[in-house]
Amino acid sequence: MRLQRLTPEEINILDDLSDVPILETIKGMNEEELKEYDVYRPIDMAFYTSEQNKWIAKEKWLVGTRIGIDPQATPEELIEDFLSNHIPQKYKAYFVLKYPDMVIRRDSVLETVA
């Protein structure tokens, strides 16, 4: 994993500049590293979904302003871009790193049930 600096456009849409180190770490992750966060699940789905919707709105703006992509991108184009850039996996990694007390490892859940 390597840090990858955020662009000025990416920094400008942040509400909390303390997120910069988290986001630069995630931006530098490859697909394999992002998959490591699949073992976590949010404790509070309403909070997770609320935060995810904010994330998606900002990503949609970034996609629309990215060079070569029409700012009036169709929903299909946005979905294709989100998936090809691993946006759902990046959001999950962000949530785990930003809110470690708001997630639980799936294998921990299985141990308590057994």
DSSP string for residues in 38-101: GGEEES-HHHHHHHHHHHHHHHHHHHHHSTTS-TT--HHHHHHHHHHTTHHHHHHHHHHHH-GG
Whole-prediction pTM? 0.79
The structure tokens 């490859």 sit at 30
Per residue of the chain (114 residues), give pLDDT as tens.
678 898 888 888 888 899 899 999 999 999 999 999 999 999 999 999 999 998 887 777 666 655 455 666 677 877 887 788 888 899 999 999 999 999 999 876 555 554
